[in-house]
Amino acid sequence: MNSDVQIAGDPLALPHLMPPPPAHPSTVAGFAGLARAVAADRAAWSRLVRYDATSRWYRRLRTGPGYEVWLLSWVPGQGSGLHDHGRSSGVLTVLHGELTETHRTPGGAVRRRLVAGDQRVFAPGHTHEVVNDSLEPAVSLHVYFPGLTEMPFHDRRDEVSLRNSPAPARQYAPRD
């Protein structure tokens, strides 16, 4: 007896019948999904994490067409300093512990506590500060698109809306 595959041929062998795989995410939701997928693969990133008492630790996990994925660790008291990401949008996902993000809005500063599993999506020009003001280390995952080429720091004296935020040591952008 003949099977359908014997009669018609294997449809998977005909590339024009298969949709092309996406080259990379093309929407904010797609990049947030990429961050969740990387976060879910704990075995791939957890063994890489290091904690550094003198500065935030970071490692680029992967790059794709137009994006970068970074893994960062934060010991208590470490922070990013007040900064933006230039022309890059981003997704911040807390993998372990908790972080506090303070960002500027037209109505003033907004402080948000982020715990493991929380995500923040931000557009180019989003000015914020991220701090580990808890008593335990934290780990976060950051996706930037396009890849991070600049991380301008802002003078806190000019940021009246963030004046009451903690003032952690100034840190620099993750770079190779």
pTM of the model: 0.76
Sheet holding 57-64, edge to edge: 57-64, 67-74, 138-145, 89-96, 119-122
Q: What is the pLDDT of residues 124-165, one digit of tens each?
A: 989 999 999 999 999 999 999 998 888 878 886 555 444 344
Cβ(146)–Cβ(67) below 8 Å: yes
Q: What is the pLDDT of residues 23-40, one digit of tens each?
A: 678 888 999 999 999 999
Tell me which residue has tokens 């093309």. Answer: 26
The number of CA neighbours under 13 Å toward the Cβ of 129 is: 29
